[in-house]
Amino acid sequence: MIDRDYCVMMARYNQWQNRNILSTLDGLSPEELKKERGAFFGSILGTLNHILWGDHMWMSRLEGTEAPKIDAKAGLEMTPTLAVWGAERFRMDGHILLWAEGLKTLDLTGDLTWYSGVFDRELTKSRALCIVHMFNHQTHHRGQVHAMMTQAGLKTAGTDLAFNPEED
């Protein structure tokens, strides 16, 4: 279904898009970042925090490491400012890229079992599906952020995967 190259490509895409978001939002007031905009996670910063929290959660599952100590709702306030989000995002993006670069074919096979707080039960899915989901989750919610940035009157950068300069 997927291979190491797919994971590296998506990790690079994730990194590129997050850099674009950070540079576009630079200078936007804290009030505008936290303004309720009718999105699923409310604000731009709330949605960015949700993506970051989700990446922490999925990486802990995929690597078998400790999960975030906060739940998804508290994850909406994981970082209080854009500067803190940018620093945490930089670290997580680097972590995901290093993880992807180190993957072996065997790492992409088999099942992953975890306890889901959302469903309040243990779930088992294929490891490959979970990895695809992590990257899709990032892209999906960044699309919401992109829409909110457009609503805020910001000029946004391109988001097409095929035009990621990291893939030239």
pLDDT digits (tens, 9 = 90+) for 94-138: 999 999 999 999 999 999 999 998 899 999 999 999 999 999 999
Span 82-97, average pLDDT: 98
Please give the helix or strand (H or E) that residue 123 lies within, else none. strand 121-126
pLDDT digits (tens, 9 = 90+) for 57-70: 999 999 999 999 99
Beta strands in the chain, from DSSP E residues, in sequence order:
111-116, 121-126
pLDDT digits (tens, 9 = 90+) for 40-49: 999 999 999 9
Model-level pTM? 0.96
Residue 67: phi and psi, rounded to 5, are: -80, 160
